[in-house]
Amino acid sequence: MIDIEKIGHFANIPRYAAETWGDATAFWFEGRETSFNQTEAISNKIANSLLELGVQPGERVCYLGKNTDYFYMILWGTVKVRGAMTGINNRLAAPEFVYAINDSGASTMFVTPEFFDVIAQIQSECPKLKNIVCVEGEREGWLSYDRMVAEGSDAPLDLPHPADDDVVQLYTSGTTGFPKGVQLTGSNYMGMFGQLNFVDWAHYDAGEAVMNAMPLFHVAGVNFGIFGMVQGAEVVILREIIPQEILKLVEEKKINHAFWVPAVILMLTQLPEVHSTDFSSLKRVSYGASPIAEDLLKQAIDIMGCKFTQLYGLTETAGAATYLPSEAHDPSWGKLRSCGVPWPGAMVRTVDGDGNPTQPHEVGEIVIKSNFVMKGYWNKPDATVDSVRDGWFYTGDAGYFDEDGFLYIHDRVKDMIVSGGENVYPAEVENAIFSHPGVADVAVIGIPSDQWGEEVKAIVVKAPGQEPTPEDIIAFTRERIAAYKAPKSVDFIEALPRNPSGKILRKDLREPYWEGRERRVS
């Protein structure tokens, strides 16, 4: 059980963990082990260094990089000075980095070597960014994480930590093409810890090994490291997703718990060595973020022989909402297409256009009310008011409950595409494609993908006298936005279907590709 009263507040977790589990291993990364005691000491060094740099309460501290155990040292150091750790999606394009850094208002940023060059190129476009800290390696004129740890004071800080302090800020794509910073508070996480005590999938025993393979700019990646630490588990962090490395570590580190998106589960099941991998230590696999084929799920359960739990949630709800219990994965239950039942203490409904609850099997917009619903969108009060009404978060996903209280995702109220766990908004992609001289009109939709759940397709109307090829348009788009957002395929059409007000009828465009598929989104 997570002792909420003893922890006190979110920033106190490292101290609580050090007092409780001491020299046991908290994080493992590429052979490097960091104990709970060391995590407390190192995060104090980072905190004191941030104070010397002038980081103020409420300020954002950015992180751009691959996964590393150092991320959590920086996170705890940041919250100890009442800052908010702001992970930036490392798959974005340079102009998108500029937007996120400037929107956050951060004066300090931690960067891993893979991104030294791009940050050096855009540094002049980020006037508030004063301190760039190298995480591994060095660069002239920049600060060093290693020196912070070697020279910083490990004296504990004695600052007040109001429950509604922002502690994590993650950027989620926006319908206007600009990402929105989701403000998650200490009270969001403390409330979620209280609920974890009542769901078996999140129970880790002290000393158990938890694999954290998700990117640390995703709420799932951030959360599983936090969940592990607050329960005394050893968090095994992967720099990036390499299927062969995952199987190797499952055996070598005797992994007990893991979260893998369906695309990763598919990769693992396709490896020949998966059939000779020893999964005997694995107790549970949690999965989510995109659709999973029933046949793939059954195959994975058969191969790995452990419990599976599906999770449905959003960044705006700290990744929480519903879960499909392991027993409901028995095909005889008939619930494999469901994303499960609400978390304890969470209210999840489907409502009609007037906000009235719908009946069983009647489709409506999914809305969520709980103590883990975000404070709001950073610097975007209008978007916050539009999304959070009377404490209910309006997800933009459409679904229905069956008579047993299990939620099913049916379609999407908004047009967001979820590809391999990444959110892609059509407007952003369309804006990039529109500037191609061979394009007169374009609509972007999500179509089924066995590997990624959905993939991006562009439907293009050619400009008069022009003959662009799909390859031209895809390459052109990749130069302007992140590669994962660019279309994987392009179809040409004479004219886009629109309603009388001129709005593109995306449902009509999607229909041929989704025909015969009952489940249309994650």
The CATH code of the domain that includes 471 is 3.30.300.30
Q: Is residue 71 part of a domain?
A: yes
Residue 150 belongs to a domain: yes
In a domain, 182, yes or no: yes
pLDDT for 435 beyond 80: yes
Q: What is residue 177's predicted lDDT score, i.e. its pLDDT? A: 58
Structural domain containing residue 115? 4-186
262 close to 292: Cβ distance less than 8 angstroms: yes
Structure confidence at residue 501 (pLDDT): 47
Q: Per-residue confidence at 411, pLDDT binned at 50, 70, 90?
A: low
pLDDT at 175 over 50: no
pLDDT digits (tens, 9 = 90+) for 72-120: 999 999 999 999 999 999 988 898 899 999 999 999 999 999 999 999 9
Look at 183-197, 270-284, 286-300 and tell me which has the smallest mean pLDDT: 286-300
Residue 263 lies in a domain: no
pLDDT of 457 > 50? The answer is yes
Please indicate whether residue 251 or residue 514 has the higher confidence score (pLDDT). 251
**pLDDT greater than 50 at residue 522:** no
Rounded CA-CA distance 159/170 in Å is: 24
370 belongs to a structural domain: no
What is the pLDDT confidence band of residue 503, given thresholds at 50, 70 and 90? low
d(CA 73, CA 44): 9
How many domains are there within the chain? 2
User: Which pTM does this prediction carry?
Assistant: 0.85
pLDDT in tens, 222-260: 999 999 999 999 999 999 999 999 999 999 999 999 999
What are the pLDDT digits (tens) for 27-62? 999 999 999 999 999 999 999 999 999 999 999 999
Write down the pLDDT at residue 428: 80
Length of the chain: 522
Position 58 in a domain = yes
The answer to whether residue 381 is domain-embedded is: no
Tell which of 186, 217, 237 closes a domain.
Answer: 186
Between the alpha carbon of residue 303 and those of residues 212, 256, 266, 280, the distances in Å are 21, 15, 12, 11
The answer to whether residue 59 is domain-embedded is yes
Q: What is the CATH number of the domain that holds 127?
A: 3.40.50.12780
Q: How far apart are CA 240 and CA 212, in angstroms?
A: 10
Helix 243-252 × helix 262-270 angle, to 10°: 80
Q: Which of 128, 161, 186 is the last residue of a domain?
A: 186
Contact 492, 468 (CB under 8 A): no
Q: Which of 52-61, 322-331, 337-346, 421-430 has the lowest mean pLDDT?
A: 421-430
Is pLDDT at 176 greater than 60 in this prediction? Answer: no
CB atoms within 10 A of CB 307: 18
**Closest to 337 measured CA to CA, from 257, 406, 429:** 406
Which among 123, 156, 186 is the end of a domain? Answer: 186
